Structure 1
């Protein structure tokens, strides 16, 4: 829920090959040759500026565990053929991880990748196939060809382990159930794939949260390449939700907190301990707790209830049966530690764990926190967003988003739905929420909008732009009162956003998470993924699709739809201008007329550039008198595709009327692109 581990910042990217909708007879060969060419050159086809047109209603259907298992078996049987069709090398193999099926028969199959028998971290991909079996699109976590220079390590494994222990500030074998000796992997999430060691170190973080720190070390040079934390932080008389029905199991004359209707979910009592499973809650009657935190059953009732609500939400709203989609439940542990002010999800135990807060008086078991932690498990078993950098912020935001939607779904009068996170648990001690989705900066640390360095801050604060996006998409900007809570949501460009309703917004985010996002998706990739999801659900000319564009622009990710919105005046140039590879600067011009006086302090510059490595680009706005305003600097680590972003410029010293130009220069070799369009927006 609130881990503060520091991480080395690494850019993340998710490349999507442009979908090809052809007849079944030629589709596989066409896509195979397309991707084979990309693999040979170490590049991939750039993501389209907009999602492909698709018939609305491409929503995933609910699969029974048996149906899902059958699809997984089929995908596994075809894995070798799929790898060949995608043009992967002879040493590369695909391992099926998940599968979703749309109403029209389209399948979205998620794969992990191996190279010469070694796991490829950051090599995951999602393949979209039509009912006829034709491959229609591929979303890849990396666009680089997986061809490491060697698979023979020059660095002893013991050196990698020492490095990991130093990073974790832990002692060896501190957590034997978590610690994993260095294993050889191919690290492909950051530039050119290389042979590396992955070491997992257990122990405790500074606040008592269990640790599962993954450290990746170059197996040739010994350089630490990356690290991330895998512990993601998150009739019953409950503490927060009043008296609620609980599904339990009777065994002889006793009852226990086992939910046989929801995959066998169990709730255990750690009784202030910090290890093991704990003791299953049981008793002589089927009444649990008294509403007071001093009664250990009260928090257990909250956790059991929250898990049931989250299970029902994902099953009834999104058609997913359990975290893995296999009908099996995780389990819950309450009363972790003494005065432990946190909650977390752990892949190792496949469980949610809750502390009791300061003075053991405020257990972290409210509906939104329970849904937040369980959603970390969902993310881990779908997109697998790495818990660091921009992907880590999106991981946290996903848990906040569905924490809020589950709370609305619960329709519980004691804990009404809202866009506040952790408002019941009083984690700050002053009665304020932990986070605010309408204006994230209200918590003092979270960010309202994207900026170039956001991947270097704590993931709980870099989640702000995505939380803000979801609020804007659901409810729109401005002032609004919902269930007695008043919100006032601004936008980064000062222009209004019209919401489409939470029911549609949650469908878009879920579809993007499960069919478009990969382990390395960043904010630009999230925009691309949610636009693709909106296009498939509602059509690319729909109000919903345009609202996704506008909501992202409202948090400084990409350009607005249409003419800029909000009644402002916009001037646009849609002519393509090629950007030479590592060559001279090019310009695209716009003539502004009909304005009086100077340009505004909040001049908006909406840039849409298609490029296969945007870090190569330097972008300037040139005023009519030739003054240059730097919009984007060169960055060798910014490996994402495309520039879809609205910049704000203080141009108040410039005369508004005249010829303005966008100047773009590619300052490194191998990647190409073009200016697709750009726009000046005068609020």
Structure 2
């Protein structure tokens, strides 16, 4: 049971963007997903993204030594899916090499692919600087360091030329800091650094009496339904008591501060789900604690929790709605896309703006009345942090001394001020020029509302790559608007708003033209067989290919005698599926072609299903490719055996070989297959095999039909090999492999299957 705690006292409420054009990727306008992704679309998205990465590594600046592994899979606005892949190079993590693939809700249609890496990695993986020296250098980046973690060797790839580096995490002793320092592993100089701790400011406000928060049945300030959410003091432990009366409503009472913090972040969680389609703060069902009672005029995000202090007058705790929304907004930034929080003032400014944006979204979602904290675009107006009213103004950043417009000075501007242009952009998208002005001479803008603006912004944030810049944000939000909404209205507002804050057109950014609504139709499977009187089923799949989702009525063409059809459901929306059940009579027989028709509001498509009724004579084809090979004695060769059903039912096939010369063995993987499947056949020779050409028989023993094929194996005399596996080779090293000399092109440690003929990227024949 989820207890609802009613508080008896008043409670304080508290470039260049590497958007990669991959083979198979499409820029067609996206449709609104009617249903959230099911496990099948999630698997589709993973398979689609992995296939893209494998198919076009060159576009991702990848080498043969690069590998990609899925690190997060997040559902976004309107069911869209975002998959982030971490990159390693020769086994080393690549900082800045993340790849983010965005798909539609079905997982089959790729919307965008992004990577922050600007060039291929071509560095030695052997450090000239020791880990100890790197740790000593990193420690000096904080005046007082509490600890220095063991350095990790990485590739630093956020700049034009990737470099080998030591990543060292240093924690602060005199102030909160979890500093990631990157020390060049060749020169010993610091390349880059970024801090998980993100400082911020907030306000304090009353949410009314009483308020309801979710806690555990033992009266502990830990949310039983939203994983990770809890609130307590600076020791990290949630507050616990023996009754359901929390706080006294006073501005300095810490228990009251936790009431506000928990109330706010629980509503932020709900806003993320209901408005933006995100599951939790990290997008994967996870949240983080809030600590109150910080003895500072400050509030900040540490990378793993949010901590809150008091205002300068000491009269209020900083746990109001916009400050709580802001600090946990840093968590949303950190756990969206690739690369974490990132370094540099421009990235930092976009991070601070992200906090302000989620604070504003939270206020508008809760929509409190005027006597509490009504929705607005001010930051810190209620707490009066330093006695000067709001600390930032998203409608007009210059009102609090921050820039309204982007300029070349933003990368060197203090991060809270560097948030100004994006805060202004967000206001223009949501509200238009209503009460605000553009930085250029463009026409007035009519806003699309804060909910749509939030959906576009979060969708763009889910594709974040490092370094995150205003130029990248413009392209990402344009891609997001095009993916999420049909037509071009939202796209054009986003574009005008960026121009309105002096972030101009970027190379490679998308364009938008009105598109016709369309969809694809497939049957899975496209054929089946039954005995007379039996039933067969197939899944009717639809995917939006352009424009918006449309309603689709499913039907069949003229059915064969003795066959009936039923769809469940018969009417769907593009992007959904239906099950088609075909029922046969006892007198039906033969091979029948059944036409499936999908009639949409804007388009109609057809697909054919082949139904075999009864048991025909079964047969299959049997081929081997290639049909010949030449090896030196002691080597092996492989070929692929392929089978295909040509009549009737599939049948089990057992593979074997005959007419083998002495010293030659043949193996199959697998040895038993079903017609329609394939197997790998390996021909292995010993050093004693006499040079000759041998014709080897390959046999397929089926349940009802047998077939044979031949393979010609030419064996020549053995040759010397000096290459060995598990051996370090430097650039320029020369080896012999089966009598052929090779020169090493890249330093590496050889693996058993990295023979010189097999890996031309590592070895060049001499």
Distance 1:13-1:204 versus aligned 2 partners, 3 A rule:
farther
Select the residue among 247, 269, 282 that pairs with 2:233: 269
Distance 1:256 1:524 in 2: 45
Give the C-alpha shift of residue 106 in structure 1: 6.5
- In the TM superposition, 1:229-308 aligns within 5 A as 229-234=195-200, 240-243=206-209, 244-251=211-218, 255-270=219-234, 276-277=235-236, 279-308=237-266
Q: 1:404 to 1:13 in 2, by over 3 A?
A: same
Partner Cα separation in structure 2 for residue 503 and residue 14 of structure 1: 26
Residue pairs, 1:128-143, within 5 angstroms = 128=102, 131=106, 133=108, 137-143=112-118
Which structure 2 residues correspond to residues 523-602 of structure 1 after superposition, within 5 A?
A: 523-539=470-486, 541-559=487-505
Distance 2:80 2:243 in 1: 48
- Is structure 2 residue 486 aligned with structure 1 residue 517? no
Corresponding residue for 1:96?
A: 70
2:172 maps to 1:225? no
Aligned residue runs from structure 1 range 326-365, under 5 A = 326-336=284-294, 338=295, 340-347=296-303, 350-365=304-319
Are 2:323 and 1:369 equivalent residues in the alignment?
yes
For the residue of structure 2 that corresponds to 1:198, the secondary structure is: strand
State which of 336, 359, 366 in structure 2 corresponds to 1:410. 366
- Report if the CA contact (8 A) 2:44-2:108 is conserved: no
CA distance in 2, matches of 1:530, 1:96: 23
Higher relative contact order (CA 8 A, sep 6+): 1
Give 1:526 deviation, angstroms: 0.8
Q: Secondary structure at the match of 1:120?
A: strand
Question: Alpha carbons of 1:72 and 1:308: their partners in 2 closer, same or farther (altered >3 Å)?
Answer: farther
TM alignment of 1:275-674, pairs within 5 A: 276-277=235-236, 279-336=237-294, 338=295, 340-347=296-303, 350-383=304-337, 384-413=340-369, 414-430=372-388, 432-444=389-401, 446-479=402-435, 488-493=436-441, 495-514=443-462, 516-539=463-486, 541-559=487-505
8 Å Cα contact 2:194/2:341 also seen in 1: no
Corresponding residue SS for 1:16: coil
Per-residue deviation at 1:134?
6.7
* Larger deviation, residues 119-128 vs 287-296: 287-296
- Which residue of 170, 174, 177 maps to 1:211? 177
Tell me how far 1:318 sits from its aligned partner: 1.4
Q: Which stretch shifts more, 303-312 or 358-367? A: 358-367
Moved more, 194-203 or 128-137: 128-137
Contact kept in structure 2, 1:231 and 1:344, CA below 8 Å: yes
Please report how far the alpha carbon of residue 329 of structure 1 lies from its aligned counterpart in structure 2 after TM superposition. 2.4
Q: Distance in 1 between matches of 2:76 and 2:315?
A: 46
Q: Is 2:16–2:472's contact at 8 Å kept on the other side of the alignment?
A: yes
For the residues of structure 1 that align with 2:36 and 2:322, how far apart are their CA atoms?
A: 24
Separation in 1 of the partners of 2:329 and 2:270? 13
User: Alpha-carbon deviation of 1:543?
Assistant: 1.7
Check if 1:86 corresponds to 2:49.
Answer: no
Cα 1:344–1:501 shift into 2, 3 Å: same
Aligned partners of 2:442, 2:51: CA distance in 1, in Å?
51
Give unpaired runs (5+ residues) of structure 2: 1-14, 507-766
CA 293–129 in structure 1, closer or farther in 2 if over 3 Å, else same: closer
SS in 1 for 2:468: coil
Q: Distance in 2 between matches of 1:250 and 1:167?
A: 46
Say if 2:45 and 2:103, in contact at 8 Å, map to a contact too. no
Other structure's SS at 2:217 match: strand
Aligned pairs (5 A) from 1:17-36: 17-18=20-21, 27=24
**What is the TM-score when the length of structure 1 is the normalising length?**
0.65
- Partner-residue secondary structure (3-state), 2:332: helix
- Quote the Cα distance in structure 2 between the aligned partners of 1:78 and 1:501: 32
1:157-236 equivalences in 2 (<5 Å): 157-171=131-145, 174=146, 176=147, 179-203=148-172, 208=175, 210-234=176-200
Classify the secondary structure of the residue corresponding to 1:233.
strand
Gap change, CA 1:301 and 1:63, over 3 Å in 2 = farther
Q: CA deviation at 1:353?
A: 1.0
Do the aligned residues in 1 keep the contact of 2:78 with 2:484 (CA within 8 Å)? no
Unaligned runs of 5+ in 1: 1-11, 21-26, 32-50, 271-275, 480-487, 561-683
Contact 1:211 1:230 in 2 (8 A): yes
Q: Mapping of 1:97-112 within 5 angstroms?
A: 97-100=71-74, 107-112=81-86
8 A Cα contact 1:385 1:521, kept in partner: no
| Aligned-pair CA distance for 1:363 | 1.2
Is residue 9 of structure 2 the alignment partner of residue 52 of structure 1? no
Pairwise CA RMSD of aligned residues?
A: 2.9
What's the CA shift string for 1:649-668, capped at 9, x where partnerless? xxxxxxxxxxxxxxxxxxxx
